[in-house]
Structure 1
Amino acid sequence: MLKALLKLLVELTGNRYISKLLIAVTTSKSSRMLIPLFVKVYRINLAEIKLPLSEYQSLHHFFTRVLKPGSRPIDNHEGALVSPVDGVIRAFGSISETETYEVKDRQILLEEMLGSKEKANQYKDGKYIILYLSPQHYHRIHSPIKGHIKGNWTLGGKSYPVNRIGIKYGNRPLSTNYRTITEIESNKKNIAVVKVGALNVNSIHLTNQHEQVEPGEELAYFSFGSTVILLIENDNFQFAEDVSAWREIKYGESLGVIAN
């Protein structure tokens, strides 16, 4: 009974009218009054944000804030793959060790998530890492490696929560939610940066117009909390020793090294 109720609540959060109301409230000028409360509740470090608090025009404007230059040192060691976001490491490992390329307790099916069997097979012997962004986190997404952007493509329709309840009771939100995939080709093979929407706002905004990217260069931003999944084609990728589930990480910090 409880499981059915929780599943119903998760599905209700995908209602488009609730989503429109959420957008209207957070983008309104009156929502500026909520910013100090948001800062207090989520303990936002004001020393690293680019603008004075008084210059943010809405809660949404603050939520998508930009950081001061130099706030996040980028690991530039040879072969380093860096975190594309501030967030929490939810899970990581070898894709080949998962049953029929299912990841995260059957919540991700690669073919479903990437949109084709060909793409799924490309990454089947590689590695994955799931990074969750809560409301307190900085919500811009950066390149994890130096390389060439092969392409961006968007899949999915509605978006449901990607928090613990959403993952447990939703209908595979990590591979069925609205999502935008950026595939980057480096000399170490391909990296897929899968940006998963949440709360049916479908709020993934691409910002980078360049073909070549450097580690830490901005790719996009979320309007609301969500998840980024990295798929690493190279099976020689070695996770850093300090990578562990539920560890907080900031963008630019090393996730591991891709060997030749």
Structure 2
Amino acid sequence: MSWTTRLTYALPHRALSSLARRLAYSRHPRTSAWLIDTVTRKFGVDLSEAEQPDPRSYPSFNAFFTRGLRAGVRVPDPDPRALLIPADGRISQCGAIEGGRIFQAKGQSFTAAELLADDDAARPYEDGLFATVYLSPKDYHRVHMPWRGRLLETVHVPGRLFSVGPAAVRTVPRLFARNERLVCHFDTDFGPMAMVMVGALLVSGVETVWSGIEIPRYGDAVTVKDYRGADIRLERFEEMARFNYGSTVIVLLPAGVARLADGLGAESPVRLGQRLATLVG
């Protein structure tokens, strides 16, 4: 385990993330300009794809970080049977869920029940598929729907805020099942689908298109919101949520409904809208 990963065990995760949130939302011109310029330069952000390519057009660092894309720079796979990659980034891992366990990295795994914080909700995914997509600081930070679905409920699971960078993923046991996260359960025409928005160190929020800010809302108890009566339906490729700062989204699919696209594997670079999997049957 690297010294930086060891250090994250001792850091005051929530205090640091609260501080990062205050900086991210600051409208002080010098503060926001310095943060935007630093991240753009260090990570090679491509602003030519943004709706607003001028870095000085953003009133805060958070507005820059959650920027929209120009129309047409991402398009969904044209095959109507294709489930879509939900975000720009890299595949951390993807593949079969074996006996309810999700592979994290060599020597590391966690259960779907741990991730979802619900044994019953995890049962349809026991032998299904998963894809874990890591969004780096340079990436587009909005998450879109892999497939059309009706929102059933969200589950806010409090937890730690470890880094979700590759070094931490390799060394922190059960990382994604320990970090704070928002689990979004959808009903689709092939059955259930779960989208898990995983928080991380210095990630100051998760927002959804139907409810606004969901994280931070730091607490010690799991919070469930039932949306079954609200008839919230999102289409394939439609935006569903966004991160403030980089993080990870995990897609869970039930057994027997799809096969993963060829060529996807650990560290594969991916873009929103490309094929994640293909429906079978």
**Does TM, normalized by the shorter one, top 0.5?**
yes
Match of 2:265 in 1: 244
Q: 1:24 Cα shift?
A: 2.3
Q: What SS is found at the alignment partner of 1:88? A: strand
Number of matched pairs: 256
Alignment of 1:151-230 (within 5 A): 151-199=153-201, 201=203, 203-208=205-210, 211-230=232-251
Letter paired with 2:121 = K
Gaps of 5+ in 1: none
**Contact 1:189 / 1:234 at 8 angstroms: preserved in 2?**
no
2:162 corresponds to 1:141: no
**Contact 1:195 / 1:228 at 8 angstroms: preserved in 2?**
yes
**In the superposition, relative to structure 1, how do residues 242 and 170 fare at CA in structure 2: closer, same or farther (>3 Å)?**
closer
**In the superposition, relative to structure 1, how do residues 13 and 235 fare at CA in structure 2: closer, same or farther (>3 Å)?**
farther
Q: 1:11 Cα shift?
A: 1.5
Which shifted more, 37-46 or 144-153? 37-46
* Equivalent-residue separation in structure 2 for 1:206 and 1:111 (angstroms): 23
Q: What SS is found at the alignment partner of 1:104? A: strand
Q: Deviations over 1:130-155 (max 9, x none)?
A: 11111111111111101222222211
* Equivalent-residue separation in structure 1 for 2:239 and 2:171 (angstroms): 32
Letter paired with 1:103 = F
**In the superposition, relative to structure 1, how do residues 243 and 7 fare at CA in structure 2: closer, same or farther (>3 Å)?**
closer
**Contact 2:83 / 2:278 at 8 angstroms: preserved in 1?**
yes
**Contact 2:65 / 2:244 at 8 angstroms: preserved in 1?**
yes
Letter paired with 1:23 = R
Match of 2:10 in 1: 12
Q: Deviations over 1:44-102 (max 9, x none)?
A: 22221012322111222211111112221112422211011001011111112x5x524
Q: 1:202 Cα shift?
A: 5.3
Q: What SS is found at the alignment partner of 1:69? A: coil
**Contact 1:215 / 1:252 at 8 angstroms: preserved in 2?**
no
**In the superposition, relative to structure 1, how do residues 89 and 207 fare at CA in structure 2: closer, same or farther (>3 Å)?**
same
Gaps of 5+ in 2: 212-230
* Equivalent-residue separation in structure 1 for 2:245 and 2:88 (angstroms): 14
Match of 2:276 in 1: 255
What is the root-mean-square deviation of aligned Cα atoms in Å?
2.1
Larger proportion of helix: 1
* Equivalent-residue separation in structure 2 for 1:244 and 1:102 (angstroms): 14
Q: What SS is found at the alignment partner of 2:259? A: strand
**Contact 2:91 / 2:267 at 8 angstroms: preserved in 1?**
yes
* Equivalent-residue separation in structure 2 for 1:4 and 1:142 (angstroms): 33
Q: What SS is found at the alignment partner of 1:81? A: strand
Match of 1:24 in 2: 22
Q: TM-score, normalised by structure 2?
A: 0.84
Paired-residue identity, %: 28
Q: What SS is found at the alignment partner of 1:190? A: strand
Q: 1:171 Cα shift?
A: 4.6
**Contact 1:192 / 1:231 at 8 angstroms: preserved in 2?**
yes
**In the superposition, relative to structure 1, how do residues 20 and 252 fare at CA in structure 2: closer, same or farther (>3 Å)?**
same
**In the superposition, relative to structure 1, how do residues 53 and 235 fare at CA in structure 2: closer, same or farther (>3 Å)?**
same
**In the superposition, relative to structure 1, how do residues 43 and 95 fare at CA in structure 2: closer, same or farther (>3 Å)?**
same
Q: Deviations over 1:215-252 (max 9, x none)?
A: 11111100011111111114241111132221111111
**Contact 1:26 / 1:60 at 8 angstroms: preserved in 2?**
yes
Match of 1:50 in 2: 51
Q: 1:201 Cα shift?
A: 4.1
**In the superposition, relative to structure 1, how do residues 171 and 16 fare at CA in structure 2: closer, same or farther (>3 Å)?**
same
**Contact 2:128 / 2:252 at 8 angstroms: preserved in 1?**
yes
* Equivalent-residue separation in structure 2 for 1:171 and 1:44 (angstroms): 31
